[in-house]
Structure 1
Amino acid sequence: MILIVDDIRANIIALKKTLEIHNIEVDTAESGEEALKKILKTNYCLIIMDVQMPGLDGFEVVKILSGNKRTKDIPVIFLSAINIEKKYIFKGYETGAVDYITKPVDTDLLILKVKTFLKIYEQQNELKLMKDLLSKEIKIRKEAQDNLEIKIADRTKELVAKNEELELKNHELQQFSWVVSHDLNEPIRKIQIFIKIIKELYLKEDAKGVDYVDRTVKAAERMQTLITDLLAYSRLSAKVVPEKTDLNIVLQEVLSDFDYLIERKGALIKTGELPTIDSIPSQLRQVFQNLIGNALKFSGNTTVPVIEITSQRIKTKDFDSETDPEGKFCRITVSDNGIGFDEIYLDRIFVIFQSLNDRQTYEGTGIGLAIAKKIMEKHNGLITAKSQLGKGASFIMILPLKYEN
């Protein structure tokens, strides 16, 4: 089990959800004092610790743990958005932490590190068990004095083989993406199976019901493709081959997914002609899903939510570039008349797990715009936003028409 220690509950919830997606068991504490009480009662294989907390801060907690025989070997990863200077990082390592990560956190890297420490923890337990078994066997052999040297040699050989096996398992950590892919795809496969059963058994005479079921199946299929591509994209060494993509088709698929919500809110969608570009279509679909989904979610009390998607061909890779019918880039704008935001927080909205709104009023994980920015960078593109409180928001994307390495 992993212990997350942070005095800000929103940070705990976001990180806890991220870890639980990967089937990692998590416990939490909202202060250094609470953390120490839990650590004395529970065996944790890893602690993710915020540095700056009221009362006992992260450094003090780790210093106390280092002085205790039972807790001194628990690995600790520091997370900090404030104490990011070298002197604090050095202090973190000096107190006994195994890593010091500054915010905003790259979740892909954090998950990889967490899984590595969990694997090391399992290996240490296996090795400890083997060591205990070996000690007991040696004691028995010494008492019997029967072929002691031969037995020890055989047992040592077995331990060497076991160590080689554990080293092989270490390499398997690099393949964790496959496991993640399976865990995410399995629920989607079940949805597809059950919805098809419903269609065949109960909806044969209901044309509208069949239409909704077919849309659900198609949405699930797109989600499967999205999961596969996003996992491939998350691997630093992975290369996903771009393809010719008609963004009009991508946009219509996204709007089809939102048709129920659009109808319920009485939203007006205005779409201009979008270009055909080299891209990874499932990733750009995710960008449109996040931007249009946010526009619908943050429509506020507007009588008629209006969302407009337009495109211009431009000369240079610049938000203020002049239009050019022969330009090598396109500028796509997604505008709405919703609640908007203060532009002083512009940099913050693209940081993972950051949200400007009350999470109880507006649900969300705080990762949508961070994913959008990462995908735009993957496509050698740019994204920004313009907004005023109560006057809607416009998200502007710059994308090259042709893919270049």
Structure 2
Amino acid sequence: MSVVEQSNKGKILAVDDTRDNLILVQTILESEDYEVDIVSDGISALKYVEQTPPDLILLDVMMPGMDGYEVTNRIRKNPAFLKNYIPILLITAFHESSVVEGLDAGADDFIRKPFDTDELLARVRSLMRLKKSLDEQQKMARQREDFVSRLTHDLRTPLVAADRMLGLFQQETFCKISPEMKQAISVMIRSNQNLMQMVNTLLEVYRMEAGKKTFNDEVCNLPEIVQEVVSELAPLANEKNLTVKVDTSGLEPNQKDPGFVMGDALELRRIFNNLLGNAIKFTDTGGITIRLTENNNSSEKNWVKIAVEDTGYGIAPEDQATIFERFRQGRNKRSGSGLGLHLSHRIAEAHGGNITLSSELGKGSVFTVKLPKNM
């Protein structure tokens, strides 16, 4: 069998402070065409794993200096291995409690000394199958994310071009058009902009999940941001004869910078744009109230809360638990892609806050954004 074929079966790192044990394990595994490297202590094992991650680690529990539990724990807590999972097989001569401790530390399986060769090979094969399955899943996820990212990026170009061209038609740049045609073009413009918003949201979601999203850290005036969003979306509310009110009476007027937080103003604006836009979409009568409140208690963390209250359809209890999940669409016929709330929730979490929901069918919903002041 060639070197290439051997490496395809998998690379294994064996860790044991007893050289005879290492040679025995190495001989058994190499006879089955595995590529095996050996080290004699925990610190060397961690250095090896960081430099050339293996497909599987065989790890002795009892070693001087750093035992197998600590090695396992450090590997599992290392962010570098979150996307490149390495199965760990513990080798122990002790009783059940040591096995429990090892599994709790993050090991995937164990085998007791003195071990049977067939049992060792069976456990190695099992964990190698696990590794292959996880690698395939991650590969497919990366391919899917890359495809969606490229697709959404490529879609934006014709959508932007179409938006500009429709705008020129509406302005009668090329020729005079009838009122009926202007109305039709307005519908086309709105549909195109809705599609472009969906594409942009999808792109932002995948940037966030791929770890490519960066946030600015600046002083953000939340009352001002909210008021700007309200002004931008006022035409949509006016079309449905809905009232939109901003209530800042819950802010502390005597405190310095009431309603101010540290964060990314553009991303926070995205949250409120999405929440108010949804409130307008799912409300036919009544209106929306946005309430800003804060606490300035020296004994606990200071927060600013922004509650978006509507008098719309409300959300069924069975849908509320999953409302912030990706692609989780509501049952209302007006529901969108199911990405806006997911992205908003992720942005709030990235700012050290959260979004919660309180809703009752037929009476409306309240989405509350909670952000730390950090000032």
The TM-score normalised by the length of structure 1 is 0.45
